[in-house]
A and B are shown apart, each in its own frame.
Chain A
Amino acid sequence: MFWPKKKDKTGANKNNLNQLGQGLILFDTVEEAIQAEKLVKKAGYTCALVAPPPSLRKGCDIALAFNLVEQTALERILQSIPYQQVVPRAGTAPLLDIVQVTQYPRHVMVKAGNMKITYEKESGLIVNTSGGGCPDIPYLHIEILGQRLDQIARPRELGHTLCALMLDRAVEGALEIWKGEEIQC
């Protein structure tokens, strides 16, 4: 077990991770964990190798601690490295997977967690997004507004945060409904 004290590229001391709303990424092997740390730091994100609490330990004895809000970005960075799962360090609740749908005469609003997307039934055009609070949400709003659901770059590809991940789930739910409606037509 080691706790390096030097500062990383972002200037944050690793002990600050204890204060950042931690998430943990669990790995099968130590090699994968170390490789993941290198990749994440190279991309400019704050992270540290830590010992997961016994209740969360599933594979090897090292996990990668990171700012949980940046989960979307880290999952994208680690596409080439197998990892077991991402878990919040505090609390036990898993990531929300509930999708709720509200019908309007010409539109459908799909809500996933705290994020909502609304599209036009006939065309599949995205007419609004709402909810959320992370700093990529205003950017994603502008990027996908006015585009067809199946033609957008997905929020999980463009975004960095948990709100982006929730918006992506809403997009996924909207796509399923819209394609289902297309088939019925």
Chain B
Amino acid sequence: MLIIAGIVPIKTLPLLEGRVMKERAFLRIGDYQIPATQGTAAMISAALAVSQYFQLESPRAVVAGDIGRGDGSRLIYQYLIQNLLQLKPRVLALHYCMPDLELMRQLYEQVKLLDPPPVLIADAASMYAAKAVGLASAFDVFTPDLSELAFLADKEAIHPAYIDKHLFESCDIKTVPEFIALAYENQGAARYLLVKGKADYIADKNGILSSIDGPDIPELECIGGTGDTITGMVAALIYKGLNIPDALKISAQANRLAGAIETTTPATRINEIIDRLPQVFKSSLKREIS
């Protein structure tokens, strides 16, 4: 089972757990429709695109409404803490949530009881919480952008808004290898990193394993949700059985190709990018994925 957990920006949405279906520009979970916009909904949509293409079982979503107060986030944490041993996920991807360090710690205590252990993926504030609570190395995959890489490399920072200014300013495409090394040295990195930027880097504790720098579509950086879709594809491809470095590389490549196969501007919306994914899998990545 692939579980994706995170909040959606609908204040009144209760906690939902279940298989996800796509309905035009929406996701359906049980009786509820959720717009496939930036955030966890975009991540689930991309995972669903992979699942449907390979005829895998759909991801299970654990979502709740939260517009910033942390109420839905706590419901998600509590549900996972109470039910993880019954759910027995093979892949668990944690996404937008209020970074509650104590609940993250409790959740990890439940993860440790699972045999076999799930592949653990964190992005967005779940990645911030995992790093801040000192559990980064217990995770299998983080997918930071450059500013988030600086955060992972900063031993003291508990949020990317409070990174050391020098680290923030000096983290660019030329210094990525040093920052990756620093993140591992300071216990701020997961087993694998996919660093998203002008070039995307896949790395582990030994350094950079591979990089992807084309096609170069600078407009993708503007589009809210392009990081979410990468992480969603990563989760689904790992669930399909790909090894982690391959899943990271193919997902980064697919995102770039989705930006290249049709005109992409800074105003393109993430659902347009998601809709292009099946075509990318079919035309350009069939051999790599198989």
A residues adjacent to B (C-beta < 8 A): 16, 19-21, 44, 67-70, 73, 88, 90-96, 98, 102, 104, 106-107, 109, 111, 113-114, 116, 118, 120, 127-139, 141-142, 159-166
Contacts and interface: CB of A to CB of B under 8 A. Distances in A.
B289 to A, nearest CB: 26
Contacts of B156: 90-93
Q: Chain A's interface: helix, strand, loop or mixed, by majority? A: mixed
Contacts of B251: none
Nearest to B126: A133
A129 B224 contact: yes
A164 B68 CA distance: 9
A98 B105 contact: no
Given A139-B67, A160-B69, A134 B39 contact: no
Nearest 7 A/B pairs, CB to CB = A136-B68, A91-B156, A133-B124, A138-B39, A160-B68, A127-B267, A139-B9
A152 B215 CA distance: 35
B30 interface: no
Nearest to A108: B266
11 contacts: A19-B101, A19-B105, A91-B154, A92-B156, A104-B266, A128-B269, A135-B68, A138-B96, A141-B9, A141-B39, A162-B161
B262 interface: no
A37 to B, nearest CB: 19
Contact of A127 (B97, B165, B266): B266
A114 B224 contact: no
B223 A114 contact: no
Contact of A107 (B100, B160, B222): B222
B105 A91 contact: no
Contacts of A142: 9, 37
Nearest to A113: B161
B7 A135 contact: yes
A135 B97 contact: yes
Interface of B: 7-9, 37-41, 66-70, 72-73, 96-102, 105, 123-128, 132-133, 145, 147-148, 151, 154-165, 168-169, 218-219, 221-227, 265-269
A175 B127 CA distance: 31
Nearest to A17: B102
B169 A21 contact: no
B120 to A, nearest CB: 16
A17 B2 CA distance: 33
B219 A134 contact: no
B79 to A, nearest CB: 15
Contacts of A166: 160-161
Nearest to A11: B74
Contacts of B163: 93, 96, 113
B221 A141 contact: no
Nearest to B158: A21
A69 B159 contact: yes
A135 B72 contact: yes
A89 B83 CA distance: 34
Nearest to A22: B158
Given A98-B169, A128-B266, A139-B68, A20 B162 contact: no
B11 to A, nearest CB: 8
Contacts of A90: 156, 158
B67 A136 contact: yes
Contact of B168 (A19, A98, A131, A132): A98
B140 to A, nearest CB: 18
